[in-house]
Structure 1
Amino acid sequence: MGKIKWERSFPSQVYTKWAGKSVYYYKSINSTNVKAHELAAQGARHGSVVLADKQTAGRGRRGRQWDSPPGENLYFTLLLYPKLPARKASMLTLVMALAVGKALGEVTGHEIWIKWPNDMVLNGKKVAGILTEMQARNDEIDHVIIGVGVNVARREFEGELAEKATSLENEVENQVTREALLAGILEHFEILYEMFCLKGNMRDLRQAYESYLINKGRQVLVLDPTGEFAGIALGINDTGELQVQLKDGTVQSVYAGEVSVRGVYGYV
């Protein structure tokens, strides 16, 4: 796949009302999330997108580095100004995951899964990740940024990544352009976001989200700062928390925060 060309006409190619109508493109940048925070402070509009062909300091959940080589993947951050309490911001990760799942399914023709809360899975391996951050004032959201990284054309993965990461190029026969993928994600997200904002929870999106949830019905191992426990993932509740049934039959709600969830015997 050739290097992406973010033409100035791209916003007009996205069939949305506001998502992606302002695009800030950088050939190389430290992090699209960092830049999105800066743009928010400068008054960038709701739905603005920060795109990069390369990130020098990309990161994922819990400060992990997100490997971001040039010209191979899709890196973007979406800036939002939701009128919601700060405690609801984490649910936007799930909304974006659902949008990415729908768009990936359309452009690849393959079955796409979500590993709660923020990993996208193709053929048992991670193909994309999502990182949501926010700034708040008096417990109200000032702005939210949602960073998305999709492995599109990368062929080689080293070390630990070789066992659990993949790319569209490695798994899909048809060529996927990053322009088409980004447009699809933004179009789906705008619809899902507006549905989410009507009630401020996942109630109306819960069934759709769970249809992508690879953890559902499986044994999972929950790792948090206080220890770990195993159980069966039942799905999510209306606030996006993973519901895990323990051996004694009780159900534990797991909040994304600093928690990691994986399969008992591997990544999923």
Structure 2
Amino acid sequence: MNPLIYLEISTSTNIDILKFTKGEPKFIALYTFNQTNGKGQYDNSWEMIPGENLAFSFMLKSKDLSIPSSLFNFHTANLLRNFIANLTQQNTEIKWPNDLILNKKKIAGLLIEKKKIENLDVYIIGFGLNVLQTDFSKLPKAGSLLTQTGKIFNLKNIAEHLFDFLQTEILHPKNTLIDFNYHLFMKDQIAVFNLKGKRQNGIIKHADENGYLWIDLEHDGLRKFFHKEVELLY
């Protein structure tokens, strides 16, 4: 049996899930509605209002994957995008490399970590989803399922359905790069980017199999960027 674990409070679900690896089940997931020190990409923090949002982590063995590690982030982003799109029945996009956009607002973030537990290599997928929060006065680019759809969702039901969905889909990647690019936020549209403190217009062309984002810049032409080398300002 693959366990789904609920904690009333967690410092970080990506850290606390490591306490529940005994018995080596195929999958483990842990979730909370009160995370006090959430982790984001590149050591950023993920702030969470207790009882309004979902912090969810999912662990699987890397040896069970049939997809290259360079594409695993894209595969996971595709799955979570599909889950949110099916849940809300509304347009959901992926903001490279690891955010989900619902009706032009960021409603979720993704963090993937590779760990070694004794002699076992595992991936931990951390997922933070804004569900019932309505105050984004300090985060004008963010929103929640509630603000973007006008609907109230049950946090526990989302966690349970997400666990079932990932167990079914995580080991069966299909059309990973094609789907990622199809749902890529602001693709083929003029946008503003921050490059080392300087703004420049450009057009996102595609993401490639090595994780790079290709942008046709107004002054510098077609260039590729890795994580943290460029910021999309919308």
Q: Match of 2:114? A: 134
Q: 1:260 to 1:189 in 2, by over 3 A?
A: farther
**1:89-117 deviation line (CA, Å, top 9, x unaligned):** 45333222211211111121211111011
Does the 8 Å contact 2:57/2:127 carry over to 1?
Answer: yes
Contact 2:29–2:56 (Cα < 8 Å) also in 1: yes
Is 2:73 aligned against 1:97? no
Aligned partners of 2:17 and 2:57 also within 8 Å: yes
Cα distance change of structure 1 residues 56 and 260 upon mapping to structure 2, 3 Å threshold: farther
Question: Which residue, 126, 129, 147 being the options, matches 2:126?
Answer: 147
How well do the aligned residues superpose, as a CA RMSD in angstroms? 3.2
CA distance in 1, matches of 2:89, 2:72: 25
Superposition misfits of 4+ residues, deviation over 6 angstroms: 226-229
Instruction: Please tell me the residue identity of whatever aligns with 1:182.
Output: A
Give secondary structure in 2 for the equivalent of 1:120. strand
Greater strand fraction, Structure 1 or Structure 2: 2
| Aligned 8 A contact 2:53 2:132 in 1 | yes
Per the alignment, residue 242 of structure 1 pairs with 213
Q: Could you tell me how far 1:75 is from its partner in structure 2?
A: 0.8
Deviation at 1:51, TM superposition (A): 0.9
In 2, the alpha carbon distance for the partners of 1:180 and 1:190 equals 16
In 2, distance between residues paired with 1:189 and 1:254?
29
Residues 34 and 216 of structure 1: CA distance in aligned 2, closer, same or farther (over 3 Å): same
Structure 1 pair 184–26 and aligned structure 2 pair: CA distance change class (3 A): closer
Q: Structure 2 counterpart of 1:108, which letter?
A: T
Change (3 A) 1:164 1:181: same
Give CA-to-partner distance per residue, 1:147-204, whole Å, 9 cap, x none: 0010000111242x1x1111111121333223443344445444553233xxxxxx82
Q: Is the 8 A contact 1:195 1:204 kept in 2?
A: no
Give unpaired runs (5+ residues) of structure 1: 1-17, 197-202
Checking the alignment, whether the CA contact within 8 Å between 1:47 and 1:78 is kept in structure 2 is yes
Matched, 1:221 2:200: no
Q: 1:118 is matched with which residue?
A: 98
Provide closer, same or farther for how the CA distance between residues 173 and 231 of structure 1 changes in structure 2, counting only shifts above 3 A: closer
Aligned length: 231
User: What amino acid is the match of 1:58?
Assistant: G
The percent of aligned pairs where both chains have the same amino acid is 25
The TM-score, its normalising length taken from structure 1, stands at: 0.73
Give a deviation string over 1:217-264, Cα, whole Å, max 9, x none.
Answer: 13352646x9887632112222332222345786433223x434313x
